[in-house]
Amino acid sequence: MTRILSLAQRLTSPLLPDDYLTLIDPLLAQGSLRGRIVTVEAESRDSSTIVVRAARAVAAFKAGQHIGVGVDLNGVRHWRTFSLSGAEPLGPTQALQITVKATGSGGVSDHLVHDAKAGDVLFLDPPSGDFTLPEHTAEPLLLIAGGSGITPLLSMIRTLAQAENPPSVHLIYSARSLDDMVALAELRAYADTKPWFTLTAWESGIRGRIDQPSLALIEPDWQQSIAYVCGPAPMLTAVDGWWREAGLTQRLKIEQFQTQLLVVDGEGGTANFTASSRTSNAAANESLMSVGEASGVLMPSGCRIGICHTCVVPLKSGKVRDLRTGRVHGEPGEPIQTCINAAACDVALDV
Amino acid sequence: MTATIEDLTIDLTDDRERHASITGTLTTEQVDEIGRRLDSIRADIESDLGADDAAYIRRLIRIHRYLEISGRATLMASILPPAWLAGTGLLATAKILENMELGHNIMHGQWDWMRDPTIHSSTWEWDNAISAADWKQSHNDMHHMWTNVIGKDKDVGYGRLRVTSDQEWRKDHLFQVGTNVLIALFFEYGISMYDATLEEIKKTDAPGHPRIRALRSLWGKVKPQVLKDYVAFPLLSGISAPTTFTANFTANIIRNVWTHTIIFCGHFPDDVEYFTEEEIEGESKGEWYLRQLMGSANIEGSTLFHTMSGNLSHQIEHHLFPDLPSNRYAEIAPQVKEICVEFGLPYTTGRLGKQSFEVWRSLAALSLPDDVRERLRIAA
């Protein structure tokens, strides 16, 4: 196939065969991965489960991993990362299932929940991520979900539901109310029929946020479990703190969906994107990724919250401020994550 | 370095005198006001860009590809004269669209706001003898920054032609009408050789003779082009190989002549102004806008004509706002014209025949040394 493509390239030069294949069907693109939405099912008033059929099979992903989804909104392409919510496949698969919660800010999530329909074409990044179950799952698992953080944990539970000898699993699912909880009926069915599974549905709107005493009451053996937590940043900080105090950090795995960025008082500067010949004002609070994108620069991006390091570009000059910690840093040549760094003065980036 | 009030005052006065060729009788306040009004036209368009604009460029790309496929498919039977004619026509149209409305505009970054890596100035490569990278450097940077500045804007005559009496006459200008015919026929090679040589000569510390290096880098881009049009497709058409060869050659020539005609009408008709480096030093934003306005000329025509010229028929609007999507130039032209009328500024435009005639007439007139021209009473 690659030989045919490279011969075909002689005829299409300087374009690629993809540029002609996509005229027939966008899913024929070989250089990038696309998919077509098969179903959109509402899970609650602001979340939906979307099943996408990828143009080509991707390697069997692990429960807890995520994919990148690209959507054109108002002519502009936006990318966001979503956890896969379906069970692990047995082998390479074209079926990818995500469960999306609308944020109300008019972006990708809102579009997917409210406007997307079967037949729509999406751009995809293959599954990746290391928020996955341990290889040999014999020890008890404690899964803590806050709001939309349920998605990777759903994938894990659905996978274990098909396993031969699953370990004991306790899911603590915290959301504002029961109405906001996704797949509640399915989870209750597991709790009723599977002796290894326990569900605690915590309505934070009524009972407030979970604190450490409550955790100890819900799951007295929490220190003996391997724990996975996914949810809003304050919840992750709190949970991380409890495990740290108990000296058990290595038995806790955290999956972040957002990152808390500082509101900075200081000065920004101008950002010069040297390879793209673009310069723009860069506010002290604005990530360099967002400054670049607003100027039309093709900024590499991935999780957009400082974890995956896909967005790293070399800093040519100037200093940047890490928006998570406030730390000002930067040497010429230093690779900088553009999604969580802002200009601390005039900067130049090689992108 | 601290300056005293006296130093600053003197500088301002000097600037006003220096920029007089740009600002004429306008006051500084007026020039700034013009700048603000043009800035706001720009801001309005930028905030309005959306799905319709994205749909426009995607549609145009599809049209181009279908035209090209039909052209090349028809030419598989190019041994039959009707197929040769139809195929050449289709392919020439495709190449013109690709060069002007697509290539030139996409490489200006006009569509970068879409964040589509396949329609982006950093990745787009075009069906032309000059590489995108070389083109962007000489065009986006040099020509648009130094527009119409003699000695800095190499597009003023492309190093060979005398297009304004501000340029000094040389002996080889005597033949420049003939030279321009050749440049027109082989425009893509003319431009690419001229650009490639410039770039290579700049790299003074690289090994080897600059001209040899230039030719080698040129071949890197030209080779796949030559293979595609003159080897691969002819061979693919079997017995039509020789006629497909001539058809592809003709299509390229048609594209060259068309783009050359449009481009030369952009800056060389009568009434377009030229400037010196000293005159533009310390230029303000408003003055930059004025220089772009006075250094450019539009061509009047139908919507189809505008599209086929890559909207370079709106040369003035393009020079004022090089990175605004070309489909918006027709919309803002009346607003630009209104500002010109209000402030008594020139807005040079005319139909293709008239603009083109003025260009060739100037070339002919300027091919003569100035004293001969004066004796024969030929204006230029």
Q: How does pLDDT run across A5-45, given as a tens digit for each residue?
A: 777 887 887 888 888 888 888 898 888 899 999 999 999 88
User: Which residue type sits at A198?
Assistant: T
Candidates A20, A74, A295; nearest CB to B50: A74
Distance from CA of A160 to the nearest CA of B (A): 39
Indicate the pairing of strand A335-337 with strand A312-317.
Answer: antiparallel
Query: pLDDT for A209-261, tens place per residue?
Result: 999 999 999 999 999 999 999 999 899 999 999 999 999 999 999 998 877 77
What percent of chain A has a predicted confidence (pLDDT) above 70?
100
- Inter-chain touch A298–B115, beta carbons under 8 Å: yes
Of B51, B66, B224, the CB nearest to A74: B51
Count Cα neighbours of A343 within 13 Å in the Cβ-side half-sphere.
Answer: 26
What does the alpha-carbon distance between residue B143 and residue B137 come to, in Å, rounded to a whole number? 9
Q: Which of A9, A10, A32 to mutate to test the interface with B (most CBs of B within 10 A)?
A: A10
Does the structure show a pLDDT above 70 at B201?
Answer: no
Considering chain A, tell me which residue range(s) the CATH 3.40.50.80 domain(s) occupy.
141-256
Question: Cα A311 to the chain's mean position, in Å?
Answer: 14
Question: Which pLDDT band, with edges at 50, 70 and 90, does B10 fall under?
Answer: very low
Burial of B166 (0-12, 13-18, 19+ CB in 10 A): middle
Provide, as residue numbers in chain B, all residues whose Cβ is less than 8 Å from the Cβ of A293: 115
Shortest distance between the Cα of B26 and any Cα of chain A, in A, equals 30
- Cα A57 to chain centroid, rounded: 20
Q: Nearest-CA neighbor of A313 among A285, A341, A286?
A: A341
Q: Is A74 on the interface with B (CB under 8 A)?
A: yes
The closest alpha carbon to A341, from A277, A279, A291, A280, belongs to A291
Report the chain A residue with the minimal C-alpha distance to residue B55: A75
* Chain B contact present for A298, CB below 8 A: yes
Q: Name the residue in chain B with its Cα closest to that of A298.
A: B115
Of B208 and A175, more confident: A175
Q: Which residues of B touch A14 (CB under 8 A)?
A: 125-127, 224
Contact yes or no for B224 and A19 at CB 8 A: no
- As a CATH number, domain A141-256 is 3.40.50.80
How distant is the Cα of B317 from the closest Cα of chain A, in angstroms? 20
Count how many Cα atoms sit within 13 Å of the Cα of residue A85 in the half-sphere of its side chain.
Answer: 23
Say if strands A335-337 and A328-329 run parallel, antiparallel, or are unpaired: unpaired
Q: What's the whole-number average pLDDT of chain A?
A: 92
- The closest CB to that of A72, out of B54, B118, B127, belongs to B54
> What is the residue-averaged pLDDT of chain B?
88
Over range B324-349, report the average pLDDT.
96
- Chain B residues whose CB is inside 8 A of the A300 CB are none
Whole-model pTM? 0.87
Percent of chain A that is helix, strand, coil (3-state, to 5): 30, 35, 40
pLDDT tens-place string over residues A150-204: 999 999 999 999 998 999 999 999 999 999 999 999 999 999 999 999 999 999 9
B243 Rama class: left (phi>0) / alpha (psi -120 to 50) / beta: alpha
Q: Is the peptide bond before A314 cis (omega within 30 degrees of 0)?
A: no
- H runs (alpha helix) in chain B: 5-18, 20-23, 28-48, 51-74, 81-97, 105-107, 132-135, 144-145, 176-185, 187-202, 210-227, 233-236, 241-267, 277-280, 285-294, 303-308, 315-320, 329-343, 352-366, 370-375
Q: Is the ipTM of this complex over 0.90?
A: no
Whether residue B114 and residue A19 make contact (CB cut-off 8 A), yes or no, is no
Residue A81: predicted pLDDT: 92
pLDDT band at B7 (very low <50, low <70, confident <90, very high): very low
Query: How close B108 comes to chain A (CA, Å)?
Result: 11
Instruction: Give the right CATH number for A32-128 from 3.30.230.10, 1.10.3720.10, 1.20.120.530, 2.40.30.10.
Output: 2.40.30.10
Question: Which residues of chain B make contact with A75, given a CB cutoff of 8 A?
Answer: 49-55, 113-114
Average pLDDT over residues B139-154: 86
Task: Please tell me if residue A296 touches chain B, with a CB cutoff of 8 Å.
Answer: yes
Which residues 6+ apart lie within 8 Å of B112 measured at CB?
Answer: A295, A296, A297, A298, B120, B121, B122, B323
Q: Which run of H or E residues covers position A47? A: strand A47-58
Residue B9 has a pLDDT of 44
Please judge whether A13 and B117 are an interchain contact, meaning their C-beta atoms are less than 8 angstroms apart. no
Sequence ranges of the domains in chain B: 14-375
Q: How confident is the model at residue B5 (pLDDT cuts 50, 70, 90)?
A: low
Q: Name the residue among B143, B245, B248 with its Cα closest to residue B191.
A: B143
Q: Which residues of B touch A (CB under 8 A)?
A: 49-55, 62, 65-66, 69, 109, 112-118, 120-123, 125-127, 136, 140-141, 224-225, 227-228, 232-233, 236, 323
Q: Is the pLDDT of residue B8 over 50?
A: no
Provide the pLDDT for residue B200: 58
Q: Extract the tokens encoding B22.
A: 């740009």
pLDDT digits (tens, 9 = 90+) for A72-124: 999 999 999 999 999 999 999 999 999 999 988 889 999 999 999 999 999 99
**In this structure, are residues A47 and A100 in contact, taking their beta carbons and an 8 Å threshold?**
yes
Chain B hits for A77, CB-CB cut-off 8 Å, are 114-116
* Residues of chain A neighbouring B140 (CB-CB closer than 8 A): 277
Q: Answer for the pair A124, A69: CB distance below 8 angstroms, yes or no.
A: yes
Strand ranges of the sheet holding A341-343, from the earlier edge strand across to the other edge? A328-329, A320-322, A341-343
- Residue (of A320, A270, A266, A263) closest to A295 by Cα position: A270
Binning pLDDT at 50, 70 and 90, where does residue B1 land?
low
Q: Is A13 an interface residue toward B (CB < 8 Å)?
A: yes
Could you say which of A10, A20, A75 has the minimum Cβ distance to residue B228? A10
A23–B62: do the CB atoms touch at under 8 Å? yes
> A145 to chain B, minimum CA–CA distance in Å?
34
What is the mean pLDDT of the segment spanning B56-70?
A: 96
Q: Which pLDDT band, with edges at 50, 70 and 90, does B135 fall under?
A: confident
Q: Which strand (E) or helix (H) includes residue A273? A: strand A269-273
* pLDDT tens digits along B76-114: 999 999 999 999 999 999 999 999 999 999 999 999 999
Contact A75 B50 (CB under 8 A): yes
Which chain A residue is nearest to residue B113, measuring alpha carbons? A296
Beta bridge partners of A282: A269
Question: What is the least distance, in Å, from the CA of A26 to any CA of chain B?
Answer: 12
Start-end of CATH 3.10.20.30 domains in chain A: 269-349
Asked whether the beta carbons of A259 and A340 are under 8 A apart, the reply is yes
Substitution target from A76, A108, A111 for chain B, most B beta carbons within 10 A: A76
Find, in chain B, the residue whose alpha carbon is nearest to that of A7: B232
pLDDT at site A142: 97
Nearest residue of B to residue A75, measured between CA atoms:
B51
**A76: closest CA of chain B, how far (Å):** 4
- Each residue's pLDDT tens digit, B181-198: 999 999 888 877 777 666
Say yes or no to pLDDT of B129 above 90. no
What pLDDT score was predicted for residue A109?
A: 95
* DSSP assignment letter at B268: -
Q: What is the mean pLDDT of residues A306-315?
A: 87
CATH architecture assignment, domain A269-349: Roll (3.10)
